[in-house]
A and B are shown apart, each in its own frame.
Chain A
């Protein structure tokens, strides 16, 4: 009987699997099961880094003040830097949304929760896209949504004052390098076309030295290395990442070498971050569908192997 069922399934497996996949994704969307997900170390690392931005800024200001009293070299440069740092006492987060619609379902929850976390703590945000022009409008809608849909947790955030969305510019590696020296040279205007020197928020942000944390949410291979090479290797700024679950194995070594402060693995990473912030959102909602899909894959692998062993036994 079992053999017959397996043989029937082997003949009609495509139709059955396709229907099951649809059910695994659709049914959980209508369920309201609240999953409890404990943040893993890599997620907690990025959460702590965002949480610690104001403290990092205060420490940077204190360090620079001490440097100014002790040193007479580069006095003007250090004073200008100190003035910029004092303009944003809560620190500044730079977030790069390097993904396109194909990986948006997995990465949008990550980007949104990082932005919401920064907005909740009153941290000004600079958002950019460096790797794909296709992602510029998508990133704009994510940043605007996080700024306006406050979920009652913070005041509405205004462009130019609380956040700046710079959009996409060609150049990729060179663009990131140039941001390290002068952001206004890399991006003369924001995405809306307003010159950066007209935006109050940008008065206190000149280059990567004025940024307390760089967070990169990406679905592209190669993009993380580029950010690491410039932000970490050249400018030694704290860098955290969010990426598709399939890419995490590739970038775990950078986490162990402390080149990354944290790493969000796919939708699970977004869900963990939401739990850490106690703000359940799209990531937590998506975990049930992901759980159902993973269980389905395991069942299918088990079925495939069962059939394989039955056929091998019959042949022998």
Chain B
């Protein structure tokens, strides 16, 4: 009933332009979603602790990684809950920005913590109706430190590794074993060349004011690609519609872990 009710409320948003539906009902759904998400977070955390503590207790293969996972989760959660002005601050510096007309635009305070200095602790003046509110403290320095110096480089590094795999895959896998594969390969080469300004170094004919490969790339994107994508989008939309109707009418209940 809850699922059907929420589904119908969301459906009404697109078809019933009443203020009660558009504002109050949507507000209720949003508030509820935040409450549910909070409980979901708690359940996720409990599940994480349960799964990894079990692995550690049983000394399952790779249990040391579970120790790292739990330690990281604990450290980041604790730091995230600390007060915003907490942190081993070793120095603060101030700089005044002056506009070309001589007016002081804002004060920047840079906090230097024991672990370094981070741009996220640059506080600018915020202009409010009551005037300029100086130095808005808005984030936890150590949390920013973890984000800027651990999470950001880790995520970037993992994604950057893809470049190496793609290069080796291009060498090993992209082979013209049949004429269909050759066609695919030719399209890939055209798009690759069309994506970069290769005409800066090699003289190429221009069509419609763009270089040959770029023109070909645009044609591939505009015609065969668009035709294929449209059919996929329409197919997926019809499938999604059918599934949504089944869920709304209670025929299918995947959220309960099964069918019917």
Contacts and interface: CB of A to CB of B under 8 A. Distances in A.
Interface of A: 13-14, 17-18, 20-21, 25, 35-38, 40-41, 100-105, 134, 137-138, 140-141, 144-145, 147-148, 155-156, 158-161, 170-171, 174-175, 177-178, 181-182, 185-186, 190-194, 198-200, 203, 233-234, 245, 248-250, 252-253, 256, 265-266, 268, 287, 290-291, 293-298, 300-301, 303-305, 308
B2 interface: no
10 contacts: A40-B210, A40-B218, A137-B148, A144-B122, A160-B126, A170-B34, A171-B33, A198-B130, A287-B196, A293-B163
Given A200-B129, A234-B14, 15 more contacts: A102-B155, A102-B156, A102-B159, A141-B119, A161-B127, A178-B27, A178-B30, A181-B26, A199-B126, A248-B221, A249-B229, A252-B222, A268-B196, A290-B196, A300-B170
Contacts, number: 200
Given A174-B29, A252-B225, A103 B128 contact: no
B158 interface: yes
Interface string B213-250: 01000100110011001100100000000000000000
A140 B118 CA distance: 12
Contacts of A186: 30
Contact of B120 (A141, A175, A253): A141
A305 B175 contact: yes
Contact of B155 (A101, A137, A175, A250): A101
A271 to B, nearest CB: 8
Interface stretch (B51-59, B64-72, B86-94, B98-106): B98-106
A35 B185 CA distance: 27
A137 B128 CA distance: 22
Interface string B153-174: 1011011000110111011111
A144 B197 contact: no
A304 B174 contact: yes
B193 interface: yes
Interface of B: 10, 13-14, 22-23, 26-27, 29-30, 33-34, 37, 97, 99-100, 105-106, 108, 119-120, 122, 124-130, 133, 136, 138-139, 144, 147-148, 151-153, 155-156, 158-159, 163-164, 166-168, 170-177, 185, 188-189, 192-193, 195-198, 200, 209-210, 214, 218, 221-222, 225-226, 229-230, 233
Given A159-B127, A194-B136, A266 B210 contact: no
A100 B155 contact: yes
Contacts of A13: 168, 171-172
Contacts of B163: 21, 25, 293
A294 B196 contact: yes
Contact of B209 (A38, A145, A147, A291): A38
B152 A144 contact: no
B151 A134 contact: yes
Nearest to B23: A181
Nearest to B211: A38
Contacts of A137: 120, 139, 144, 147-148
A234 B12 CA distance: 12
Contacts of B37: 170
Given A268-B196, A305-B176, A252 B226 contact: yes
A200 B129 CA distance: 6
A155 B197 contact: no
A89 B181 CA distance: 55
B229 A156 contact: no
Contacts of B164: 17-18, 21
A35 B171 contact: no
Nearest to B125: A158
Nearest to B206: A38
B170 A301 contact: yes
Contacts of A265: 195
A46 B223 CA distance: 21
